[in-house]
Amino acid sequence: MSIIAIVGAGMMGSAIGIPAAHNGHEVRLVGTPLDREIIDHARATGEHLTLKRRLPDSYRYYQFEEMQEALQGADLLVGGVSSFGVDWFCEQVLKVIDPALPVLTVTKGMMDDENGDLHVYPELFEKQSGCRGLRLNAVGGPCTSYELADLDDSEVTFCGRDIELLRWIKSLFETSYYHVSISNDVVGVEAAVAMKNAYALGVALAVGLAEKRDGKIGAIHYNSQAAIFGQASKEMKRLLDYMGAREESLMLGIGDLYVTVYGGRTRMIGKLLGRGYTFDDAMAELKGVTLESIVIATRSARAVQKKIEKGELKAEDFPLLRHIYEIIVEKKPVNVPWKAFEIESVG
């Protein structure tokens, strides 16, 4: 039996421990200062407050002030914070743990810099925590927290530099319903599963446009969704190719794009925008909902624009991402650039 300490009691941070618990490992769930109610509720009822599922009876619960107790004897640390908690996680967790303790993070996202380069979170974790030689690994793939908690078959990828370490981490989590691939293409895996958030918003626009056109909530037109999904896949490939990602990492991102369109929070904001809401009104409607798609779309589009200005990328290769940026940042109405999606393919 191994001891797995999870810091961050959000939905995915909490859910990822379920297969490990089913494998007989001890799971210690540590809440951040924002998770106090979640930890208190779980201690009292055995259920997760926002995931609305019962967690395994073997889970043990800790408030953040009890983190050091939770880390005693731990064999693996899982980072369960959202992208909005990255700086906090670096400062309060990664800077104080033993560098020999392996880390697996579920946080998805990227940061852009002044040169237009995009950096995945494992790179940022290493840099911001003081380059302490941490044994950093990450999770990517099409897997929603609530379906993992329901034991639905899920296929994910654990990525990191050390394949032997990844094989060991995989052995902790893999079950009959949680299927784990491993990869040392850290940039490719993490970039793919981050940028899908931006493009899922684009696909969800088609859902809202269908509802607006038909005057009926729940109206669906698959042609338009498929068209934007196809364009999103093309643009993701172009950007991932530019970043040096492997082909299998692109496929992981496309799978994650699918599940995010149909099962993620990003669908909600895209639908509202497609119905005709202004960006500000849509955000007000979804007040309190964490929307990482807005952050990653802004960062990705901003980075691509800088590379376009430098002549390293072509504007015509990213019409969808650039329109998403127009909607979010420039507050323009939805006007899907269908004509820009057309190509001439000559062998």
The answer to the question of residue 347 being in a domain is no
Q: What percent of the chain clears pLDDT 90, i.e. is strictly above it?
A: 84
Tell me the average pLDDT of the chain: 94
155 shares a domain with 209: no
308 shares a domain with 242: yes
- The DSSP call for residue 244 is T
Q: Across residues 18-44, what is the average pLDDT? A: 98
In the predicted structure, residue 280 carries a pLDDT above the cut 70? yes
Q: Of the residues 184, 213, 242, which one is the last residue of a structural domain?
A: 184
The answer to the question of residue 73 being in a domain is yes
pLDDT tier, 290 (very low <50, low <70, confident <90, very high otherwise): low
| Least confident range of 99-103, 261-265, 284-288 | 261-265
pLDDT tier, 45 (very low <50, low <70, confident <90, very high otherwise): very high
In the predicted structure, residue 252 carries a pLDDT above the cut 80? yes
pLDDT tier, 205 (very low <50, low <70, confident <90, very high otherwise): very high
163 shares a domain with 107: yes
| Least confident range of 65-79, 107-121, 262-276, 301-315 | 262-276
CATH of residue 48's domain is 3.40.50.720
pLDDT at 262: 85
- Residue 61 and residue 64: Cα distance in Å, rounded? 10
pLDDT at 219: 81
The answer to the question of residue 55 being in a domain is yes
Q: Are 78 and 104 in contact (CB under 8 A)?
A: yes
pLDDT in tens, 179-203: 999 999 999 999 999 999 899 999 9
Q: What percent of the chain clears pLDDT 70, i.e. is strictly above it?
A: 99
252 by Cβ neighbours in 10 Å (0-12 / 13-18 / 19+) ranks as buried
In the predicted structure, residue 263 carries a pLDDT above the cut 90? no
* Burial 51-88, CB ≥16 within 10 A → b, else e: bebebeeebebbbbeebeebbeebbbbbbbbbbebbee
129 shares a domain with 151: yes
Q: H or E segment at 166?
A: helix 163-173
Q: Across residues 315-335, what is the average pLDDT? A: 95
The answer to the question of residue 311 being in a domain is yes
In the predicted structure, residue 54 carries a pLDDT above the cut 90? yes
- Residue 91 and residue 94: Cα distance in Å, rounded? 6
Q: What range does the domain containing 142 cover?
A: 3-184
198 shares a domain with 167: no
The answer to the question of residue 32 being in a domain is yes
13 shares a domain with 136: yes
pLDDT in tens, 111-154: 999 999 999 999 989 888 877 789 999 999 999 999 999 999 99
101 shares a domain with 224: no
| Least confident range of 8-17, 25-34, 291-300 | 291-300
177 shares a domain with 266: no
Q: Are 322 and 304 in contact (CB under 8 A)?
A: yes
270 shares a domain with 207: yes
In the predicted structure, residue 9 carries a pLDDT above the cut 90? yes
The answer to the question of residue 346 being in a domain is no
In the predicted structure, residue 231 carries a pLDDT above the cut 80? yes
Which two three-digit tokens encode residue 62?
Answer: 């800790």
In the predicted structure, residue 264 carries a pLDDT above the cut 70? no
pLDDT in tens, 55-99: 999 999 999 999 999 999 999 999 999 888 899 999 999 999 999
Amino acid at 174: E
pLDDT in tens, 106-119: 999 899 999 999 99
215 shares a domain with 83: no
In the predicted structure, residue 318 carries a pLDDT above the cut 70? yes
pLDDT at 165: 98
146 shares a domain with 38: yes
For the chain, the domain total comes to 2
pLDDT at 347: 84
CATH of residue 278's domain is 1.10.1040.10
252 shares a domain with 126: no
